A = this chain, B = another copy of it.
Amino acid sequence: MEFAEYLPIWDRLTPQQQQRIAEVIEFRNVKKGTHIHDSSAECLGLVMVRSGQLRAYILSEDGREITISRLFEYDVSLLSASCVMPDMQFNVMIEAEKDTQFWSIPACLFKNLVDDSLAVAAFANSLISGNFSELMWLMEQIMWKSFDKRLAAFLLEERSIDGTDSLKITHEKIANHMGTAREVVTRMLRYFQSEGMVKLTRGTIEITDTRKLEELVHT
Contacts and interface: CB of A to CB of B under 8 A. Distances in A.
A129 interface: yes
A68 B133 CA distance: 13
Most chain B beta-carbon contacts within 10 A, residue among A61, A136, A142? A136
A121 interface: yes
B136 A135 contact: yes
Given A121-B121, A125-B124, A140 B58 contact: yes
Given A121-B122, A122-B115, A129 B88 contact: yes
A75 to B, nearest CB: 13
Task: Count this chain's copies in the assembly.
Answer: 2
Interface residues of A, number: 40
A138 interface: yes
A194 interface: no
A215 interface: no
A135 B139 contact: yes
B143 A90 contact: no
A163 interface: no
Q: For the complex, would chain A's binding face be called helix, strand, loop or mixed by DSSP majority? A: helix
Contacts of A58: 136, 139-140
A139 B117 CA distance: 33
Interface of A: 58, 60-62, 64, 66, 68, 85-90, 114-118, 121-122, 124-133, 135-140, 142-144, 179
Contact of A122 (B61, B114, B139, B144): B114
Contacts of A118: 115-118, 121
6 contacts: A62-B144, A87-B130, A90-B137, A117-B118, A125-B125, A131-B132
A139 to B, nearest CB: 5
Most chain B beta-carbon contacts within 10 A, residue among A130, A137, A140? A140
B64 A132 contact: no
B90 A125 contact: no
Contacts of A128: 125, 128-129, 132
Given A114-B122, A121-B118, A179-B143, A129 B61 contact: no
